[in-house]
Structure formats: structure tokens, C-alpha cells
Amino acid sequence: MALQGIRNCVKNNVRVGLRFTINKYNFRDIAGIFDLIAGEGIERACFYHLVYSGRGASMASTDLSPSQARKVMDLIFSRCRKLSAGSAVRSGAASNTEILTVDNHADGVYLYLRLKQKDPRRAEAALSLLKVNGGNKSGIGIANIDHLGFVHADQFWGHYSFGNVRERRFSEIWMDESDPLLKSLRNRLPLLKGKCGRCNFKDLCGGNFRVRAEAAHQDTWQEDPACYLTEEEITSR
Ligand code: SF4
């Protein structure tokens, strides 16, 4: 029935996007998802990495290993190329399909490193875009206001609030850097420890998800456990 719903939407020009969170039980299905995208004319798909805070805390053990995460990213990169090439053959234009990977900013660095080996010109273009983007923006360009009005650095920081919009205006809460977490998230790069502290790509990744580091190490500034890049890669720049 879900598939029929997708087909009905595509047929009636309603934009369709698929989303799911990758874990060790479903990562083998990603190739099949790409077949579905190509076969059904779906224009967008988002593949989420697991962020194990809040309700996700009990799911940490279902996350991919670093080698599985790399294989998944390699597969996504190659299937994106295939999707684009297939569309160019059919219509003479590159595919309009948007493929997003979400919640792991190491993906951008990995994409850059892969392009550097295979297509240096595009690697430079990707590098410029990644520099502009700056990686994780929780507490900087991203905020979350929950259903009770509490303001968080993003939707994964439900256990820590900067204030409530029923008591103070959002603009006041957001500009008030007397909160130590808010201030630190905005000045995070020198605070990073472990692998993230040693990494030469901090400016592209932004230290990834601090809430995931906190969940794994009980230390907000420790390395993000979901980074699958090797020591050689993070120091290669
Ligand atoms: S080591 Fe940390 S800062 Fe560097 S790419 Fe990985 S998650 Fe990002």
C-alpha cells in the first residue's frame, strides 16, 4: 500500500521523498532503495545516520561499524553516479533526483577525499562548498523548539534547554550566551578532543554531532563515535 501511495503521488505530480535511518539491520537494503528510486521516478531520498541520544540512546548498538559505514557511503556515491548517468542517457540531462545523507558531517569530508583521488577538479569545487557550509550547525544555524516551548540546540538535545519561549522571546534566548553550552557550541573547534581534536577537517565538519559524543563518552567535547574516517585520512590535509 505504501508503494501504491508513492505511485499515486508520482503519477499526480506530488513530490515524493523517501527517508530512513541506516542501521546494521537495514543497510543491505540500500541498493534496493536505489532500484526503487530509479524504477518509480522518485525525486528525493534521505539516508540518515543514527544519532543515539534521547529515544535513540537504546539503539546505539545497532549503529554501523566504521567499515560498514564506509561501504554504505561508497555504495551511495556509486549509485548516485549511476542514477545521473542513466538519466543522461534517457533524457540528455542529469538526474533531478536529490540524494541526501544526513546527521554525519564526516560524509562531506569522505566525499571530498574520494573525489580527490578520482576527480581532483570536482574535489576543489566540493571543498569550496564544504567550507561555506562549515559542517554541523547545532546551536548556531539550527535550533529546535519542542512542543512545550523549550529551546534546544537541535532536535537531539531534548535533555538540555536554553529556555522557554513562553517565558522569554526566542531572540532573547538565542542571543543569550550566558548559557555555557550555547556559548561553547558556537566556539567549539578549540574544545574538541580525541580524534576530532586531531582532525585537520574540523572546519569542514564542525566536529560533527556533539550530542553523540556526549552520549558515548559523557563528555560533550570528546570525539564523535560515528566518524568512520581513518587516522591517516583525518590528518591528510
Ligand atoms: S574526526 Fe571529528 S571533526 Fe574530523 S571528520 Fe571525523 S567527526 Fe569530523
Atom of ligand 1 at shortest distance to CA of 206? 3
Q: What is the pLDDT of residue 85?
A: 81
| CB-based contact 123:116 (threshold 8 Å) | yes
**Polymer length of the chain:** 237
Q: What is the pLDDT of residue 89?
A: 60
Report the range of poorest mean pLDDT among 10-19, 88-97, 130-139: 88-97
Mean pLDDT, rounded, for 47-75: 93
Strand partners, 151: 145, 163
**Model confidence pLDDT, tens digit, residues 176-233:** 999 999 999 999 999 999 999 999 999 999 999 999 999 999 999 999 999 999 999 9
pLDDT range class, residue 91, cuts 50, 70, 90: low
Q: How far is the CA of 190 from the centre of ligand 1 (A)?
A: 13
User: Does ligand 1 have an atom closer than 6 angstroms to the CB of 30?
Assistant: no
Q: What is the pLDDT of residue 162?
A: 98
Q: What is the pLDDT of residue 70?
A: 98
**Model confidence pLDDT, tens digit, residues 13-30:** 999 999 999 999 999 999
pTM exceeds 0.95 for this model: no
- Which has the closest alpha carbon to 80: 33, 23, 131, 149? 33
User: Does ligand 1 have an atom closer than 6 angstroms to the CB of 109?
Assistant: yes
